Structure formats: C-alpha cells, structure tokens
Amino acid sequence: MKEVDVPFFSGEYTVADVAYSAIREIIIDIPTFKLLGIRFNKVCGYCSYWEYVRESEKNREKFQKAVRKWYEKNKDNLKWVDEPFAVTDICTSPAGGHYYLKNDKLDEKR
C-alpha cells in the first residue's frame, strides 16, 4: 500500500483520515472540533486536528465514536441540496451537492 503525505501538515493519511475527509465533503455542517472535544488552533488551523488524532489510537477511536453518535442523532435532520461547494480553493466536491443540518433560520437563507 502506498503512503500518501498530508499536504502542509506532514505525516501520512490513514484510511480513517480519508474517510473523514469524504464525510466532510458530503455533510458540510459536521462539527469536527466539537466532536474531537478540542479547540481549533487559531495559529495553525487544522494542526490541532492532526495532533489529536495522531497522538494515540485511543483518540482516533473516541473521535470515530463521536462521529457515529453525531450522525445517529442528526441523520433525520440532514437535508440534501444540489449545490456543489468548494472543498479547496481550486475544486468543488465531486458529489454534486451536499447535506447540511436543517435549521429553520438558516434554511431561509439557503
């Protein structure tokens, strides 16, 4: 299996990292840092994510459980829209749309 470097953060992607990246492209309102139980690093951005998940297998397992629990709690409130969105500065999601967490106030704006 070929190792794939994580751009800008060093290290290699795991299958779990790739899977979570795909989930974030499909469900845009998933609260990554709330699920991690850590603060977003304002100086380095996603460094806090990478530091946390690489720290231990236990942290990865806790995060996986938190993602599953969030999904089970919110799956009936996810709404699909056929609007691609930018996943980076130069490309859009290949899914052709995305889910977002329904919120009556935000739905009026979308």
Q: Are 98 and 81 in contact (CB under 8 A)?
A: yes
pLDDT score at 78: 93
Note the pTM of the prediction, 2 decimals.
0.77
pLDDT score at 67: 96
Q: pLDDT higher for 26 or 4?
A: 26
Residue 65 pLDDT > 80, yes or no?
Answer: yes
> Of 13, 53, 15, 14, whose CA–CA distance to 37 is shortest?
53
pLDDT score at 33: 93
Q: Are 46 and 9 in contact (CB under 8 A)?
A: yes
Query: Which residues lie across from 98 on neighbouring strands?
Result: 81
Residue 21 CB neighbours (<10 A): 11
Using one digit for the tens of pLDDT, what is the confidence trace for 6-38?
776 777 778 888 889 888 888 988 999 999 999
